[in-house]
Structure 1
Amino acid sequence: MELDRRLLLVHCAVHGLCVAAGLLLVVPMALNGSAFKGRCALFSSGYWSSGQPAGEEPRLVLHQWGPPAACQFATFVGIFTVLYGAAQCWRGLLYLHGRHDDNLFSSFLTVLLSVCVLFLSGGASIIMSLGFSSWCDVVTNNNMRPYSCADSQLVALHLDVDTSSFYTDLSLAQASLWAVTSLWLAQFLLSFLRLFHSHSQHLTGPCLLREKEMLLGSSLSSSSSSPSPPPLTPTLLI
């Protein structure tokens, strides 16, 4: 297929941004998982003790940690985005060097994959936002504590995990996950434009070939039907 250079350059740039956003998602989630000893803070449930007996400092008591799948889902989307973005960016650079593009079937598969991952990343973003909000409600006792969720990472929560940077890690992961979702939307639109371009090339290619054959055929038939000039007879000069 004929290459649309500008469209492919923009698509390569989006793939590069996907790699960066995916790394900004995977790294904080890995750091948070390491600090929390593999436990997931999203959708955790608990309460604050009343500080009884007298003189005891109130502490956070967790009923249950969040489901590991909530954190693993977001991490999976980030890892897939990094790997897919890197592979497609390299593939696009090869296409630019070879001055060709995907065929019609390959372009359709790219659009289909973009739609599927767009819905997955959108679902992961919603889960991440709801789970993070639920965890903030727990650590701030539904905003009854004298500090915000961001400040609670500086407060001793008396848990057996390191909570000194949970807000930084989870807020960065949340923002990166929404950025990944936006970039997958951009990938879907660009993939659809490339599919439309491939479809146009698929339709116009045979038509141009057919018109060329018709023009060649008409020129050959006209040349064969035209009368040939009379033969030249030698004249005798006296």
Structure 2
Amino acid sequence: MELDRRLLLAHCAAHTLSVIAGLLVVVPLALNGSAFKGRCALFSQGFWRTENLTVGQEESRSFTHLVVQQWGPLAACQFATFVGVFTVLYGAVQGWRSLFYLHRRHDDTLFSAFLTLLLSLCVLFLSGGASVTLTLGLVSWCNTVTDHNTRSYSCAESQSVPLYLDVETSSFYSELNCAQISLWCVTALWLAHSILSFLRLYHSHSQQISGPCLSREKELLLGQTQAPGSKSTFAGYCIASFM
């Protein structure tokens, strides 16, 4: 199996994994946004309040509930969702292109390989920023829910505790934690895309340089040269082209 074919197979597998990981980012975030009525839980600020409620004429009970002072910025959730959606679409398109190239037995041009590498590096930094944002936002929300870890339950357990908010909180941790792990996987896959794109660019560059030399050497072997010393001269030129 040739080197370019192995690279195409590896890139095709990476694109397939990107589609799966991207869906595992988009779907949980969409479910969480629907449960929170379009609000973003990331970086939300709030506190716990205890109030006394009178039951009947003499009996009173204490009632503790969470008060959200300010919901998190929508851009925090939308940023992570954008990276997930772009990863799914890009992975589907590039995966199909890789399969097409495998069938046609050719690869990208040098310029196209360079643009692919540049795009992969840009989205790598974007996905890394989105991963950090989602992680820090979830930590901030967990601190609010657990009252900075002073409650008797963890953040994962708090989704089964009634918070008495006007949103559905029964699965917020499972959804946000799944999106967080998947987004870090997306970042790792974009790193793999960048490495594979660089290798394909290097291979295309090597093929473009060595192509004329191999063609000329073939002519020399077939005896189509006119000057006796042209073979060594052109061979020296080819060697110099790689340096």
TM-score, structure 1 as length reference: 0.88
Aligned residue for 1:14? 14
- 8 A Cα contact 2:219 2:225, kept in partner: no
Query: Partner of 2:70: helix, strand, or coil?
Result: strand
**1:121-180, CA deviations, whole angstroms, 9 ceiling, x for partnerless residues?**
000000000000000000000011111101110011010000000000000000000000
**1:36-91, CA deviations, whole angstroms, 9 ceiling, x for partnerless residues?**
00000000000000334662311000110000000000000000000000000000
- Whether 1:129 aligns to 2:135 is yes
Aligned residue for 1:111? 117
| Cα-Cα RMSD | 1.7
Q: How many residues align?
A: 221
Cα distance, 1:111–1:152 mapped onto 2, change above 3 Å: same
- Per the TM alignment, residue 211 of structure 1 is displaced from its structure 2 partner at its CA by 3.2
Aligned residue for 1:144? 150
TM alignment of 1:1-238, pairs within 5 A: 4-52=4-52, 55-213=61-219, 219-220=225-226
Q: Could you tell me how far apart the structure 1 residues matched to 2:115 and 2:166 are?
A: 47
Query: Partner of 1:56: helix, strand, or coil?
Result: strand
Q: Could you tell me how far apart the structure 1 residues matched to 2:52 and 2:115 are?
A: 62
- Per the TM alignment, residue 6 of structure 1 is displaced from its structure 2 partner at its CA by 1.0
- 8 A Cα contact 1:12 1:89, kept in partner: yes
Query: Partner of 1:100: helix, strand, or coil?
Result: coil
Give the percent of matched residue pairs that are identical in Structure 1 and Structure 2: 68
Specify the code of the residue in structure 2 equivalent to 1:27. Answer: V
Of stretches 3-12 and 126-135 in structure 1, the one that deviates more from structure 2 is 3-12
Q: Could you tell me how far apart the structure 2 residues matched to 1:73 and 1:219 are?
A: 62
Cα distance, 1:14–1:104 mapped onto 2, change above 3 Å: same
Q: Could you tell me how far apart the structure 2 residues matched to 1:78 and 1:84 are?
A: 10
- Per the TM alignment, residue 209 of structure 1 is displaced from its structure 2 partner at its CA by 2.6
- In structure 2, the gaps of 5 or more residues are 54-59, 229-243
Q: Could you tell me how far apart the structure 1 residues matched to 2:23 and 2:207 are?
A: 36
Larger radius of gyration: 1
Query: Partner of 2:203: helix, strand, or coil?
Result: helix
Q: Could you tell me how far apart the structure 2 residues matched to 1:172 and 1:221 are?
A: 69
Query: Partner of 1:17: helix, strand, or coil?
Result: helix
- 8 A Cα contact 2:159 2:172, kept in partner: yes
Q: Could you tell me how far apart the structure 2 residues matched to 1:99 and 1:89 are?
A: 15
Q: Could you tell me how far apart the structure 2 residues matched to 1:218 and 1:8 are?
A: 36
- Per the TM alignment, residue 207 of structure 1 is displaced from its structure 2 partner at its CA by 1.8
Specify the code of the residue in structure 1 equivalent to 2:30. Answer: A
- 8 A Cα contact 2:26 2:81, kept in partner: yes
Q: Could you tell me how far apart the structure 1 residues matched to 2:227 and 2:199 are?
A: 42
Q: Could you tell me how far apart the structure 2 residues matched to 1:218 and 1:101 are?
A: 31
Q: Could you tell me how far apart the structure 1 residues matched to 2:155 and 2:124 are?
A: 30
TM-score, structure 2 as length reference: 0.87
- 8 A Cα contact 1:3 1:100, kept in partner: no
Specify the code of the residue in structure 2 equivalent to 1:203. Answer: I
Cα distance, 1:173–1:216 mapped onto 2, change above 3 Å: same
